[in-house]
Amino acid sequence: MLNQIVLVGRLTRNIKINKSDNGKKIATISLAIPRSFKNMDGTYDTDFIDCIAFENIAENTANYCAKGDIVGVKGRVQSRVVENDGRKKYLVDIVAEKVTFLSSKKEDEKAD
């Protein structure tokens, strides 16, 4: 079996570290990823995908990456069940297992 996902996109915001109830460092990495094909209007749509990073991965990404930087995220898809008012809701998360810094927005502006 294989559960692996690879995403490459621009960070939509600076990363903020939070702590979970059990004290683990956690961060949400939000990526903007343009589609490789045009829609019916002749423009490219963009998907916005959130990934969850824990501990060192969260901390390193927050320290070295900023809004607008291009990063690669390798991870897995993870599902969970949340119960609210007796109703079950099934959620899917992207858990980052590795984040690779690819290009900064500053470097891209220098190239122009």
Give the pTM.
Answer: 0.81
Of the candidates 8, 5, 13, which has an alpha carbon nearest to the alpha carbon of residue 62?
A: 13
State yes or no: pLDDT of 92 exceeds 90.
yes
pLDDT of residue 103: 87
Report the C-alpha gap between 102 and 112 in whole angstroms: 17
Domains of the chain, first to last? 5-111 (2.40.50.140)
Of the candidates 62, 48, 57, 64, which has an alpha carbon nearest to the alpha carbon of residue 10?
A: 48
pLDDT tens across 32-53, in order? Answer: 999 999 999 999 999 999 999 9
pLDDT tens across 14-38, in order? Answer: 999 999 899 999 999 999 999 999 9
What distances in angstroms separate CA 72 from CA 15, 22, 55, 59, one per listed residue?
A: 15, 28, 18, 16
The mean predicted confidence, pLDDT, of the chain is 91
